Structure 1
Amino acid sequence: MSIPTSPPPPLSGAADLPFDLADAASYRFWTDEHVRFNDLDPVGHVNNNAFGVYFESGRVALHQSLRQAADFRRHAIVMRKITIDYLAEITYPSAVRVGTRLVRLGRTSWTTGSALFVTTKGESRCHATALSVSVLVDGASHRPIPITDDLRPALEGFL
């Protein structure tokens, strides 16, 4: 699948958002993940690539929920950009909760905000946040298309 050639929409910094990405109360959509032994790097904590996989799990689960509201037989969702802020290491074994929400809704794309939370000794702590841009593309041409009339209200529900 080809990547759109137009420049991506600018990502707002977390400081520009009307909520705190690192605050669990900012999320209504949750996905559970867990640290696998193969997620570790030689230092013994979760490798930065695994953080991206955890964020992907949350984003894909949110996108799967949209499939109930919109017809995706002729469309696809592609990742345009992601920015991750690493706040604390994650170790093995750990259960990870991924909070996901929409931050911005554009004409052909949307920005998703996410955070990874780990509970240790009864205290939940945010270990990373992410902002990512997803683009709706035509399945045949692989070119960006406007967000469809059936998809827009479903996306708005996650703002």
Structure 2
Amino acid sequence: MTDPTSPDHYRFWIDEHVRFADLDTLGHVNNNAIGVYFEQARVLLFREASGFGAESPWTVVLARSLIEYKAELLYPADIRVGVRVLKVGNSSVALAVGVFQGDRCIATQEAVCVIVDRAAHRPTPAPDDLRAVLARFQ
């Protein structure tokens, strides 16, 4: 498998930008803001697969998150966030996510998301149509 600090590792991309509100007292992007960039990429990936809509019978919750910070990020900046599907289990999806400024890796995340039935609030098997969309990003 490719290096998660390389843009070539990722298959799904979104564009983001650093907001002044993302900064900490040292003037660099706070770790919480980086977590929001990761979240936005995950949400848009699952929206691509018809999730997170009110009409969808399932939603996704984050069950595990391991973040490694690689470089400082300052304001202002345009960034890209990449996602790669690592594994689709019965009701879980493992993802690799990376924040990049140009080709420079700012942070990486290993995330495990669980597919949840909206009505029952319990894990549910990943639907076939979701699996088909996620397979495009492996």
State the partner residue of 1:126.
105
Question: Is 1:31 equivalent to 2:14 in the alignment?
Answer: yes
Which residue of 103, 118, 123 maps to 1:144?
123
* Structure 2 residue matching 1:150: 3-state secondary structure: helix
TM-score (norm. length: structure 1): 0.81
State the partner residue of 2:46.
63
**1:84-118, CA deviations, whole angstroms, 9 ceiling, x for partnerless residues?**
10001100111111011101111100011111111
Unpaired stretches in structure 2, ≥5 consecutive residues? none
Aligned residue-pair number: 136
**1:32-77, CA deviations, whole angstroms, 9 ceiling, x for partnerless residues?**
1111001000011000000000111111111111118xx9621111
* Structure 2 residue matching 1:153: 3-state secondary structure: helix
Deviation at 1:154, TM superposition (A): 1.5
Within 2, Cα distance between the matches of 1:141 and 1:44? 44
Structure 1 residues 136 and 38: alpha-carbon distance in aligned structure 2, compared to 1, 3 A threshold: same
State the partner residue of 1:44.
27
State the partner residue of 2:92.
109
* Structure 1 residue matching 2:124: 3-state secondary structure: coil
Deviation at 1:139, TM superposition (A): 0.9
Within 2, Cα distance between the matches of 1:133 and 1:59? 10
State the partner residue of 1:5.
none
Q: Highest Rg: 1 or 2?
A: 1
Within 2, Cα distance between the matches of 1:150 and 1:64? 12
Richer in strand (by share): 2
TM-score (norm. length: structure 2): 0.93
Within 2, Cα distance between the matches of 1:95 and 1:150? 33
Within 2, Cα distance between the matches of 1:90 and 1:114? 16
Question: Is 1:92 equivalent to 2:92 in the alignment?
Answer: no
Within 2, Cα distance between the matches of 1:157 and 1:138? 23
Identity percentage of aligned residues: 46
State the partner residue of 2:63.
80
